[in-house]
Amino acid sequence: MFKKSEPVITNDEIVNINTNMEGTLKFNNSTNLQINGKFVGTLETKGTLTIGEKAEVKVEVIKGENIIIKGKVNGKIICSKYLELCSSAKVTGSIHTPMLAVNSGAMLKGTCEVPSETVKNTSKKHAKK
């Protein structure tokens, strides 16, 4: 039902956050961001956001294009392109995304909304192959 594809990382540079942070992070330009520590607040990114395996993130909301979760996230996630929950992911909250990949072992406690148009379009593409 859901198609798994790898998000495109447009440049080789990744901003790594390996510390504890609190507040609002907003990137207006495409930025590849990886959080490996603790973060509390609000995140808004363009590009690829990766929540590292040892990260603990508690947010009011995460807004992003491509999001890969390997660690713990508590809060609302709004993803405009692609969201992947890796096998080590533990998510509590709500998810809204047009494309979702959930790996074996990932945990999701909450709600997940994938717009019905996305599911129909993905099904039609697979039916033609």
d(C-alpha 110, C-alpha 52), whole Å: 21
Q: Going along the chain, which residue ranges are E strands?
A: 14-17, 21-30, 32-35, 38-46, 48-51, 56-69, 72-85, 90-96, 100-102, 107-113
- Identity at 71, one-letter amino acid code: G
pLDDT at 6 over 90: no
- The tens digit of pLDDT for each residue in 64-122 reads 999 999 999 999 999 999 999 999 999 999 999 999 999 999 999 999 998 876 555 55
**Is-above-0.85 flag for pTM?**
no
Task: Let me know: does 59 contact 73? Beta carbons within 8 Å.
Answer: yes
pLDDT at 59 over 60: yes
